Structure 1
């Protein structure tokens, strides 16, 4: 399987030939325009499956399948973590989770900008990370910026993922430390003399153990098209099946069952209401307002639970 990630810096419809010449099975493209502008079959070769997420039609994150792999957006998807899109990828026999990432600014909450968004997202999706997972994209981050104030910095993210047996494939392959990467993925203002390493692929240990090869394309070939170079990942076929059910009831159970007994007893009615709402969402046509309410209610309960745990620690 070949997975390629490339931040195209916009106008993908006008510069897709070269990246498709690399023959990706799955292609992740941050800063890509929406489907209407891509004009499949005319300006962009028709994919076998496609998913796009963004705030406006001009730029978002696009995931293309140019193989027999199909995508299904997780119902657990939380749009509060902009452009971190969780998908189930399947060929009908095997399946795994793919988190397509374009870490963005957050003017409303500067502490949650860029790598802060990734930190919030992986904490929210941490139960899903127990599945075979690949996190790939433009993280807009490097350990050299750890001192910037965030809810979680680059090192925090790396360490958290490692606790879930998920590691950076670049650092595994080239045996380099975070913050000391010799190969770069981003060239500010498309200037060769201003290089940074901010695009990554993280994968579960089973995927790593099965075998992979990671390649960064050369800046000389791509600098006229984008300020990023493509990351090309080849992984050996592996057997994998998603265990978690992609239902709203399953999501509610996964998050609420992990609350402390104290929180469960104090907020029994609210938890019950959330479970009932989840069951209704599974039976009726999807309602965005109700979905947002369910996700927000679950998050509030989880935050309350964290505060209760912290209070109990302080008391002891």
Structure 2
């Protein structure tokens, strides 16, 4: 929760403004006596780290847990062996050109620093012959290399031999503990097939591989996520006014201000367009009692950034309103990709402060 802060009372603020404005003018001899006051909490909203995480990612005592996530893709034989689909009969020995299978992340997650986790690659042979053993002594191989394309670093390498008959699958796993997981991480598959060993095979454009790349048992210390405007938005609110205040809600009979306190520990910045009106459809229009911009800055190394202000409401458009509506439009001005460590939060606190004179 935000700490309570001492504010100049609305009366003191308005009285000071009145005295400053009175320079060179006659000071009125009959000022109203402002005695009845209201201090109404409108919004106390806190957005935490958990609210910023995409589907499939959650925070617990271990860190950020990423649910098992997989993506399936296919590659046709012509893409890795340009001559293969030209054959109709025995297939000779051929080279399988390198092809990259990305280690995909859940939508909304761009990077993660892993404490633990595995990547599992499953290849399915959808070609009409055994790719690794022609049955006549000819043997082939598949090379699978885990590569970080961002840094051009080879992380791990496996060579598959034996048999790989049509319809069969081959599976292998890579340990990702301590790695930085991102879209540049790929499993690169290449190899050599001995051919079909004299057996006639009819290859088609549909002949090829299907591969599934899965993330399993992933726990991260930090995650980089995409944060949209709605993620940091102030939820719309409405407030029913006390009857005694509503009856006096007109110019000269009441002074009403919105006290705004915002603290931000989410590593990005935003602009807010804040509005107050007597009806929801009057928000952000000329009929609104308040329509003002707010700047939400990024936190610093010293701590959270804050935005505070006391904003007088224009009462001409809301005479004797029984309910007020509050809303804000949010637009992220900093980076939409933020790195979360687990201690981020954004808190809104809005209070309606009102005073009316005794008649």
The TM-score with structure 2 as length reference comes to: 0.19
Which has the larger helix fraction? Answer: 1
Q: Which has the higher contact order (CA 8 A, sep 6+)?
A: 2
